[in-house]
Chain A
Amino acid sequence: NAGVTQTPKFQVLKTGQSMTLQCAQDMNHEYMSWYRQDPGMGLRLIHYSVGAGITDQGEVPNGYNVSRSTTEDFPLRLLSAAPSQTSVYFCASSHQTVGEQYFGPGTRLTVT
């Protein structure tokens, strides 16, 4: 049981490049979310999904896309990376009837 996995752990991009952050969970959780963590800001919700085929925007969705084709996977796409997207990104999942979310190990992204 791997829990929530994220790849890559570290990534450096140039401004304007695109990439996809991968997230997978093996706990059959309905809910999955993406957060970004910036110093002094806590974690802010980017996008979330309540089940396969259903996604919605969080607090800071601009510049990011998501899709949820399967229960297990919830990739986050950066369409055209900007220095303001330099951050640590966390994926999380939870079961509908249980409150807490389980987090992946995070991806540190630097955009130059």
Chain B
Amino acid sequence: AQTVTQSQPEMSVQEAETVTLSCTYDTSENNYYLFWYKQPPSRQMILVIRQEAYKQQNATENRFSVNFQKAAKSFSLKISDSQLGDTAMYFCAFRPQGGSEKLVFGKGMKLTVNP
């Protein structure tokens, strides 16, 4: 069974600084997707970034980028130029490619951006 681990339950960062959120996962699959979702106080789950395991290039979306290390089964999220609106719970998630749509989530990490 796949598992996703987010070892840091909580972090804080100053506005405009850079922060990295860690995520590791365990799977025997070779093809899969990895995601970072953001959940602000509004409760809405928002996709931040996705990574296909077959792609060697790390995904980037504006201020958000990932460091995907397939051999180490590591998938960290870097947030550059942190903004107050980045304050949220962040969830790392895994989904095998093909087959069912089962998303496996980590337990989440609370990020606070301080002014």
Contact = CB atoms under 8 A, between A and B. Distances in A.
Interface residues of A, number: 25
Contacts of A106: 43-45
Given A40-B107, A99-B35, A45 B44 contact: no
B101 A94 contact: yes
Nearest to A40: B107
Contacts of B43: 88, 105-106, 108
Given A40-B107, A42-B91, A45-B103, A99 B44 contact: no
Contacts of B91: 42-43
Nearest to B95: A99
A99 B104 CA distance: 12
Given A42-B91, A42-B108, A101 B44 contact: no
B102 A48 contact: yes
Given A43-B91, A50-B100, A88-B43, 6 more contacts: A33-B101, A33-B102, A42-B4, A48-B102, A99-B50, A101-B101
Interface of A: 31, 33, 35, 40-45, 48, 50, 56, 58, 88, 90, 92, 94, 99-103, 105-106, 108
